[in-house]
Amino acid sequence: MRWIEVASLVASIATTLAAVAVIITVAIYYGQLRAMTKSRDLESLMLIMSYVNDLEFRKARYLMLEHAHEFQNLFSGPVSWESRRAADERIRLISSDGVTLHSVDLAMNALNNVCYLIRYGYAPVEAADALLKHSLLRSWNAFAPYIEHRRTRPDIDGAPSRYAEHFEWVITNQYHHDVGSERQIV
């Protein structure tokens, strides 16, 4: 064998080994990507579970669900300091000082965060339904007056408020519920 044939054989073997190494590397990265995706999904589920286990969140959500009809009238006007104080006093009265308007805000933020995870594919809507006991749609119907009330206040930059936009997106796109229609409390 001449040295050119030997060099050609060595180059072929090196190319084959490089191709095998690339295939192995791709397989390893694919496995890591799957593990990271699964980890992200599990983290999202843990976050939803932490919201669900928060006592303040549950109290505010149950209060809004139980007294949904009353909240239709409570949040019918535009946002002002007076309307906010009046709503806070009424919520405190209904809940025997167990829930405040701040608690309602935190519950809405938690629901919006859960819906963010659903909207961008970090958590399936079925998981949120299971953990929240199938109440996302019921919560939308109960919180809708408060959401509309909060949206009458412009954001810091003067633009219209996008309060609870992820929550609204999930209700519209996952449950195919027309949020602009006449709200019926269930």
In a domain, 70, yes or no: yes
Block means of pLDDT (10 residues each) for the chain, length 186 residues? 86 95 96 92 90 90 86 77 89 93 91 93 86 82 84 76 90 83 42
In a domain, 98, yes or no: yes
In a domain, 122, yes or no: yes
Domain count, the chain: 1
Task: Give Cα separations from 131 to 47, 50, 134, 169 (angstroms).
Answer: 11, 10, 8, 19
In a domain, 19, yes or no: no
In a domain, 146, yes or no: yes
Q: Which domain holds residue 119?
A: 43-173
In a domain, 6, yes or no: no
